[in-house]
Amino acid sequence: MPVGTCHRLSKQELNMAKVFDATSTTDDVLSGVNLQGKRILVTGVSAGLGVETARALAAHGAQVVGAARDLSKAEGATAHVREAASAGGGSFDLIALDLASLRSVRACADALLAKGAPFDVLIANAGVMATPFGYTTDGFETQFGTNHLGHFVLVNRLAPLIRSGGRLVNLSSSGHRYSNFDLQDPNFERTPYEPFVAYGRSKTANILFAVAFDQRHRGRRVRAAAVHPGGIQTELSRHMDQNQHQSIIEQLNKQLAAEGKPPFRYKTIPQGAATSVWTAVVASPEEIGGRYCENCHVGQIVADNVTISAISEGVRGYALDPNNAEALWKKSEEMVGENF
């Protein structure tokens, strides 16, 4: 800018300059932001974070396509999303997607590719947590197959539709700290199955997929990041009984007390979805590209030998390691039988 001139910041630029935190909501993050003309895909719009993410974006003018396995359930859950879209100048449509079936994933991608309408953002929000041991339709361990491989195929098939300047946002979790992925035994054929270890592997994979996707597409100004939404009460915990749930909270509060921190408090759903929205349309691309975001900011690497509570901030280095990311990409291609 020439000396002596004054640049009046737009509402969007002012919003990018704001500092948000764990208490910020989707409406806080999107205050003053106009998303008209933006087209955004959000998976998992039948409950919880997916519904709120879709609502917030559509209410600010975005054309949102919501993907869900159970369309009748999603129709009921998103009635207010359509109302918000109508009031805010946006739109909302549904498409069928079962991430536990590559046939369904490919059909969803084919339908969107046939339509040919580009996307500005893909938000890979859907997922499962701590499921009993089982397999997807294609024979993959349920959590790795659903949380990672389903999105891996969907996103890579849709990559040609992402506009220059677009983004991929993968929903991960602080649960990635339970485990790195296991290149040699992704389906627990030789390893005793532990629900949260399997969850951790899949959430690490979500981060590594973002790292590798960002590396491949940043040359055309498409960036990717992973997001930890925080601790929220949603349907994600439906496979845990009350005793398991209480035990985890008690253990967590002991860890927090040892760190000199207050007891754990759940985020609201609008607070939980805020980081997805911030990463997708508010933060600068250079800030979030190839990174892990939490509480509406970029998370910092915490060394593997440093003990931290499950709810504390920080990402393990193995989840951002580019060599790990490349190894996972190749293994994922091998497992799904497609090269991207």
Cβ–Cβ under 8 Å, residues 207 and 170: yes
Q: Which two tokens stand for residue 85?
A: 């879209």
In a domain, 31, yes or no: yes
Q: For the chain, how many structural domains are there in total? A: 1
CATH number at residue 202: 3.40.50.720
Q: Hey, how many other C-beta atoms are within 10 angstroms of the C-beta on 311?
A: 16
Per-residue model confidence (pLDDT) at position 253: 73
Instruction: For residue 24, give its domain range.
Output: 11-233+268-335
Cβ–Cβ under 8 Å, residues 99 and 131: no
In a domain, 184, yes or no: yes
Instruction: Give which of 297, 301, 305 is closest to 315, Cα–Cα.
Output: 301
Per-residue model confidence (pLDDT) at position 67: 98
Q: Which two tokens stand for residue 37?
A: 């003309």
In a domain, 5, yes or no: no
In a domain, 216, yes or no: yes
In a domain, 259, yes or no: no
4 backbone φψ class: left, alpha, beta (φ>0; ψ -120 to 50): left
Instruction: Give which of 206, 253, 254 is closest to 227, Cα–Cα.
Output: 206
Low-confidence ranges of the chain (pLDDT < 70): 1-17, 234-245, 309-311
Answer yes or no: pTM beyond 0.75: yes
> Looking up tokens 């398991």, which residue turns up?
244
Query: What are 147-173's pLDDT values in tens digits?
Result: 999 999 999 999 999 999 999 999 999
pLDDT, mean over the chain: 91
Q: Which two tokens stand for residue 333?
A: 């291609």
Question: Phi, psi at residue 67, to the nearest 5°?
Answer: -110, 140
Per-residue model confidence (pLDDT) at position 3: 46
| Active site members | 199
In a domain, 340, yes or no: no
Looking only at the bridges linking them, the beta strands covering 39-43 and 119-124 are: parallel
Cβ–Cβ under 8 Å, residues 61 and 281: no
In a domain, 1, yes or no: no
What percentage of the chain exceeds 70 in pLDDT?
Answer: 90
In a domain, 251, yes or no: no
